[in-house]
Amino acid sequence: MLRIGVLASGGGTDLQSVLDACEAGQIDGKVVVVVSNVEGAGALKRAADYDAKAVLVGHRGKTRQAHEREVAWELDSARVDLVVLAGYLRMLTPEFVNKYKNKIINSHPALLPKYGGRGMHGMNVHRAVLASGDAESGCSVHYVTEEVDGGPVIARMRVPVKPGDTPETLRARVLAAEHLLLPMVVKWIAEGKVYPGAPSIDLPQM
């Protein structure tokens, strides 16, 4: 059974997609700990409702390294096999990333390598896609490396950009795809079907 740790800063809808897939037996694994840096984050309540350990590790007044040492202690104490970033709005240091090399994945609301990197998060991504005139967008799940959004892509799922789309309507469509893709990738990892160095998987428009 894959022991999963999740880092989340917000409401935790991506987290919920993984929790639901584990609960339904679609993933041979269990979310054993959820860590958030934001007090009152919805992700912590979702974790507690699922009976996973829910931990607040605040970052204010701490160095990045000190904060990450606390996060790593929680992950190591829970003996996690995989770390999932699900809307975690903190830049990770190279030390943290390398400690969990090939064991951290992230969900990103664009078709990487497009619209990735510093500043490309949340609504900024969807505004950039619409400004570009692209006919499609989507989401990606990738391994986390020292380069922001630059790690090897595991899988992408495409969604159309529709006439009249706003950043909000496009975000909703991409988020729905994320809720399908992220648990799918975690399932594949649990089954040993994807791994560092494996070819990335492109899924058609949903």
Q: Give the separation between CA 77 and CA 119, rounded to whole angstroms.
A: 32
> Which residues, in sequence order, are bridge partners of residue 6?
34, 84
Helix (H) or strand (E) holding 173: helix 167-190
In the chain, count of helices (H) and strands (E)? 6, 8
Q: Which residues are catalytic?
A: 108
Please say whether the beta carbons of 48 and 31 come within 8 A.
no
Q: Give the separation between CA 59 and CA 21, rounded to whole angstroms.
A: 30
Please say whether the beta carbons of 181 and 141 come within 8 A.
yes
Q: Give the separation between CA 169 and CA 153, rounded to whole angstroms.
A: 25
Residue in this structure with the two tokens 């893709």, named with its chain if needed: 181
